[in-house]
Chains A and B, each alone.
Chain A
Amino acid sequence: MTGVTTLAGIGSTPRSGVGVARWYRPEANLTLPNRPDPSAVDPEVQRERFASAREAAREGIRRARDRAAERAGEEEAAVFDAHEAFLDDPGLVDDVESAIDDGTLAEHAVRDRFDEAVERFERMDGRMAERADDLRDVCDRLLRALLDAPTATDLASLPAGTVLLAERLTPSETADLDPETVAGIATVAGGRTSHAAIIARSLSIPAVVGVGEALAEIADGTEVLVDGEAGEIVVDPDESQRAAALNDDASVVPEPVSTADGRPIEVAANVGSAAELSPARDRGADGIGLFRTEFLFLDRESPPDEEEQYEAVVAALEAFPNDRVVVRTLDVGGDKRVPYLDLPEEPNPFLGRRGIRLSLEEHADLFERQLRALLRAAAHGGNEAAAGDLAVMFPMVSRIEEVEAALDAVESVAADLADEGVEHAVPELGAMVETPAAAFLADALANRLDFLSVGTNDLAGYVMVADRENDGVADYHDPLHPAVLRAIDRTTRGAEGTHAWVGMCGEMAGDPALTELLVGLGLEELSMSAVTVPAVKTRVREVDSAAARDLAEEALACETRGEVREVVGLDG
């Protein structure tokens, strides 16, 4: 190809990457033998081959499930349960077996029946057509087992900087990809909501799907830019295109930052699954300011055991060996439902049993198990040079009694572990400030704890009495309302003169236009989606803390959101 060519598709992971094109053609080595005369086929033998292929496929599906759970989270792993259900589909199995009995080789019987089913799905509209990928995936596994054909390319160990091109990718194939080495994905077919696209997104791999047949023009070895934001593939990108597309990566600031006058501000990342750890590090996060543990509990039949939780936390500590990792204890209730936890039906769950309230009563056993895992992990941090420091915080605190009960629980778990001779340590302990009650009680909280972390999304919701999912009150749900700013101010002032530090996790922390205001309000740590870490770090370095304090004072004196927006330089 000569000159620059741009191909349009559907951006499915809104990130960009540049790398060297490499085609993935798994179908190439799945050539079926010729069809023998039916009389030459022994149905017994073929039935046995089919049965053992099913077992091999089942093993493969379960391995893929485990890998996806580890890399992308339980949510993404669940698609493989659907694959197993297809593998066991009694209609399909009967059809294949009866074709075998009529004198068909197992591989032909499998391909014929699956092709029919795939075709039926594809004739239906978009969403069903995407589910056809799941069937293809299962069919491929069966055929590979029958033909004894390993996958054409080892997707798990592609050379660094590969842009993978394919007709389509199955969810299994996508889950195999290593986000560290794959610079991007582009496919001829597929939609934004296909399982493969969802998995790519959760792995943060730049992806453009549905490019169409034009993609086939790109030869192996060509330099390609995958622009997941614009939904474009650029062949042989020039310097300016590369720079524009990779702009967000260019400004990564790996080291800790301070304001222009030398006040250190920790800029950390919010993380909700194991797969987000290394992207957060790549973006230069100074540790994790909010590690949501809910992902360990969702989409499963029973809660995780102590060991699984311990390992998840240790993995986070090892990902940030020189930093702090703040783990939030289980925060369910409200809009977060977990079927097996048997949460009560409540007329108004946001004002009901959620967060620490559940942990101290209904879920005291789960809380104890989680604390055991956390205290053990804290010791790991203390002994290993290659692990960060653990901090643990409690969600939805509104009463001092809750904090005291939680501290008692920590103490009793520590005593149990000591009795058992299990290595452990008590990490830094803190509370989330997301209720007006916690903001009013910040001084009392700070006297008992090591830190406070302001959760601005819930705090804005509870101060303004507005559900952020309700468009009808979207104007109310904004942390720039003076009432919310004053609640934040109350929190930082409450902690003044104590040993407790105050941080913030929530959307507000990740907006570089508000960094100066937040520094002025006295926050020492800001934790956000990893993607905004570079911009906020850059901004922190420009801020003068005295000027920031003046700005905060001015904003706190405002009486309306319009005035606040004007003061912070946003259009009124």
Chain B
Amino acid sequence: MERIVEVVPEAGLHARPASKLVKTVNGFDADVSVGRAEDDEDDLVRADSMLAVTGLNVEHGESVRLVAEGPDAEAALDAIEDLLMSPVEGDGGKDEDGEDPHGGPE
């Protein structure tokens, strides 16, 4: 089972989105691999490995190919798609003047 998903979070497939991806994959009975959309199946890496996932160096706006096998394959892909399509907080932290970028205007 395969799916192409765009990576929406500002941080790309790094720090937080990456650790969330790994956590999500671990919650399902499925073998999931991930790589850039244009990569061959042979170049995909295991999605339950933080090292492998961050090593892809996928940035915000790129698309990834996800391949899943196992009883929960479809559910796993759905959950990952949800995660990658939602603009969760990036890892940019505070901006220069120390204002909280999420605290909003006031």
Q: Which residues of A contact B (CB under 8 A)?
A: 14, 73, 75-76, 78-79, 81-82, 84-86, 88-92, 117, 120-121, 124-125, 127-128, 131, 134-135, 193, 195, 198-199, 201-202, 204, 270, 272-273, 276, 290, 292, 294-295, 298-299, 328, 331, 334-337, 339, 395, 432, 434, 455-458, 461, 468, 505-506, 529, 531
Query: Given A78-B15, A85-B19, A334-B104, 13 other A-B contacts at CB below 8 A?
Result: A73-B100, A75-B94, A82-B19, A85-B23, A86-B50, A131-B15, A276-B98, A292-B100, A331-B104, A336-B104, A339-B86, A457-B105, A529-B99
| Residue in chain A with minimal CB distance to B59 | A127
Chain B residue numbers with a CB within 8 Å of A88 are 22, 50
Chain B residues proximal to chain A, CB less than 8 Å = 14-16, 18-20, 22-23, 46, 48-52, 54-55, 57, 86-89, 91-94, 96-100, 102-106
Contact A85 B103 (CB under 8 A): no
Q: List residues of chain A with CB within 8 A of the CB of B106.
A: 270, 290, 328, 331, 395, 432, 434, 455-458, 505-506
Whether A292 pairs with B87 at a CB distance below 8 angstroms is: no
Measured CA separation A334–B103 after assembly (Å): 11
Q: Which residues of B contact A91 (CB under 8 A)?
A: 46, 49, 51-52
Are B94 and A198 neighbours in the complex by a CB distance under 8 Å?
A: yes
Find out whether the CB atom of B87 lies under 8 angstroms from the CB atom of A337.
yes
Q: In whole angstroms, what is the CA distance A204 to B18 when docked?
A: 28
What is the minimal beta-carbon distance from B92 to any residue of chain A, in angstroms? 7
Q: Complex Cα distance A299/B20, Å?
A: 11
Q: Are A78's CB and B91's CB within 8 A?
A: yes
Q: Once the chains bind, are A195 and B15 in contact (CB under 8 Å)?
A: yes
Which of B52, B100, B102 has the most CB atoms of chain A within a 10 A radius of its CB?
Answer: B102
Contact B104 A90 (CB under 8 A): no
Query: Can you name the residue of chain B whose Cβ is closest to the Cβ of A332?
Result: B104
Cβ of B104 and Cβ of A195 under 8 Å apart?
A: no
Q: A75-B89, A461-B105 are in contact. Are A84 and B19 (CB under 8 A)?
A: yes
- Supposing A85-B19, A128-B57 touch, asked if A292 and B52 sit within 8 A by C-beta, the answer is no
Contact sample, A vs B, 30 pairs, CB 8 Å cutoff: A75-B94, A78-B16, A78-B89, A79-B91, A81-B19, A81-B20, A81-B23, A82-B15, A90-B48, A91-B49, A131-B14, A131-B54, A134-B15, A195-B91, A198-B93, A201-B93, A202-B93, A273-B100, A292-B104, A294-B102, A294-B104, A295-B102, A299-B89, A328-B106, A331-B104, A339-B88, A395-B106, A457-B105, A506-B106, A529-B97
- Contact A201:B94 (CB < 8 A) given known A82-B15, A294-B103, A331-B104: yes
* A81 proximity list for chain B (CB < 8 A): 16, 19-20, 23
A292 engages B51 (CB within 8 Å): no
Given A75-B102, A78-B15, verify A89-B51 contact (CB < 8 Å): yes
The interface residues of chain A lying within 8 Å CB-to-CB of B98 are: 201-202, 204, 276, 529, 531
CA distance A81 to B87 in the complex (A): 18
Residues of A within 8 A of B104 (CB): 292, 294, 331, 334-336
Q: Which residues of B contact A79 (CB under 8 A)?
A: 15-16, 91
Most chain A CB within a 10 A radius of its CB, from B48, B91, B96, B98: B98
Determine whether the beta carbon of B102 is less than 8 Å from that of A336.
yes
Q: How far is the CA of A531 from the CA of B93 in the complex (A)?
A: 18
Indicate which residue in A85, A273, A531 contacts B50 across the interface (CB closer than 8 Å): A85
What B residues does A128 contact at CB under 8 A? 54-55, 57
Nearest chain A CB to B43 CB, angstrom units: 15
Shortest Cβ distance from residue A211 to the other chain B in the assembled complex, whole angstroms: 20
Name the distance in Å between B88's Cβ and chain A's nearest Cβ. Answer: 6
> Contact at A292–B103, with CB atoms within 8 Å?
yes
A250 vs B52: C-alpha distance when bound (angstroms) = 50
Pairwise interchain contact B93-A76, C-beta atoms closer than 8 A:
yes
B93 CB to nearest chain A CB (Å): 3
- Which residues in B have their C-beta under 8 angstroms from that of A395? 106
A55 to B50 CA separation, bound complex (whole angstroms): 18
Residues of chain B within 8 A of A432, CB atoms compared: 106
Q: Contacts of A334 on B, CB cut-off 8 Å? A: 104
**Known A131-B54, A201-B93, A292-B100; contact A89-B49, beta-carbon cutoff 8 A:** yes
Residues from chain A with a CB closer than 8 A to the CB of B100 are 73, 272-273, 292, 294-295
Chain B neighbourhood of A506, CB < 8 A: 105-106
- Docked-complex contact B96 and A14, CB < 8 angstroms: yes
Residues of chain A contacted by B92 (CB below 8 angstroms) = 193, 198
Q: State how many angstroms separate the Cβ of A237 from the closest Cβ of chain B.
A: 24
Residues in A with CB closer than 8 Å to B20 are 81
Q: Which residue of B lies closest to A204 (CB)?
A: B98
Contacts of A85 in B (CB 8 A): 18-19, 22-23, 50
Q: Which residues of B contact A201 (CB under 8 A)?
A: 93-94, 98
- Looking across the interface, which residue of chain B has its beta carbon closest to that of A434? B106
A89, A201, A455 — which one has the most chain B CB atoms within 10 A of its CB?
A: A89
Q: Give B81 Cβ to nearest chain A Cβ, in Å.
A: 14
Q: Which residue in chain A gives the minimum CB-CB distance to B86?
A: A339
Are B18 and A82 in touch, CB under 8 angstroms?
yes
Chain B residues near A529: list those with CB within 8 A. Answer: 97-99
